Amino acid sequence: MHVLVTGGAGYIGSHTCLALLEAGHAVTVLDNLCNSSTVALQRVQEIASKSLRFVQGDVRKPHDLALAFEAGIDAVIHFAALKAVSESCEEPLRYFDNNIAGTICLMQAMQGHGVHQLVFSSSATVYGQPDVVPVDETAPLRVSNPYGRSKLVMEDLIGDWCNAKPDVGAVLLRYFNPVGAHPSGRIGEDPRGTPNNLMPYVAQVAIGRRERLQVFGNDYPTPDGTGIRDYLHVVDLAEAHVKALDFASDASGCHILNLGTGRGTSVLELVHAFEQATGQPIPLDIVARRAGDVAEYWADPAKANACLGWHATRTIHDMCADTWRWQSLNPQGYAP
Contact call for residue 148 and ligand NAD (CB under 6 A):
no
Beta bridge partners of 119: 77, 171
Strands 169-175 and 231-233: unpaired
Q: Give, in order, the Cα–Cα distances in Å from 57 to each of 33, 192, 251, 286.
A: 8, 20, 30, 42
Q: In the set 5, 81, 158, 171, which binds ligand NAD (CB under 6 A)?
A: 81
| Closest residue to bound ligand UD1 by CB | 227
Q: Give, in order, the Cα–Cα distances in Å from 296 to each of 185, 227, 229.
A: 30, 6, 6
Judged by beta carbon, residue 154 or residue 271, the one nearer ligand NAD is 154
Asked whether 192 and 83 are in contact (CB, 8 A), the reply is: no
Contact call for residue 25 and ligand NAD (CB under 6 A):
no
* Residue 293: other Cβ atoms inside 10 A: 12
DSSP single-letter state for residue 97:
I
Q: In the set 42, 197, 252, 305, which binds ligand UD1 (CB under 6 A)?
A: 197
Radius of gyration of the chain (CA): 19
Distance CA 178, CA 84 (A): 14
Contact call for residue 227 and ligand UD1 (CB under 6 A):
yes
Distance CA 202, CA 247 (A): 36
Q: 72-131: which residues touch ligand UD1 (CB under 6 A)?
A: 85, 123-125
Q: In the set 140, 163, 293, 306, which binds ligand UD1 (CB under 6 A)?
A: 293
The active-site residue, picked from 11, 127, 147, 231, is 147
Size of residue set near ligand UD1 by CB under 6 A: 19
Q: In the set 3, 4, 5, 12, which binds ligand NAD (CB under 6 A)?
A: 12
Alpha helices in 96-208 (DSSP H): 102-112, 146-164, 198-206
Kindly report the backbone phi and psi dihedral angles of residue 126, in degrees, each rounded to the nearest multiple of 5, phi listed first: -65, -20
Judged by beta carbon, residue 157 or residue 286, the one nearer ligand NAD is 157
Contact call for residue 60 and ligand NAD (CB under 6 A):
yes
Site stretch for ligand NAD (CB under 6 A), options 32-40, 86-94, 202-210, 261-269: 32-40
Cis bond before residue 200 (omega within 30° of 0): no
Asked whether 267 and 198 are in contact (CB, 8 A), the reply is: yes
**Known catalytic membership, residue 95:** no
- State in angstroms the smallest separation of the CB of 234 from ligand NAD: 8
Contact call for residue 215 and ligand UD1 (CB under 6 A):
yes
Q: 6-25: which residues touch ligand UD1 (CB under 6 A)?
A: none
Q: 95-134: which residues touch ligand NAD (CB under 6 A)?
A: 98, 102, 121, 123
3-class DSSP state of 28: strand
Residues that bind ligand NAD (CB under 6 A): 6-7, 9-13, 30-36, 58-60, 79-83, 98, 102, 121, 123, 175, 178
Residues that bind ligand UD1 (CB under 6 A): 85, 123-125, 177, 196-198, 201, 213-216, 227, 229, 267, 290, 292-293
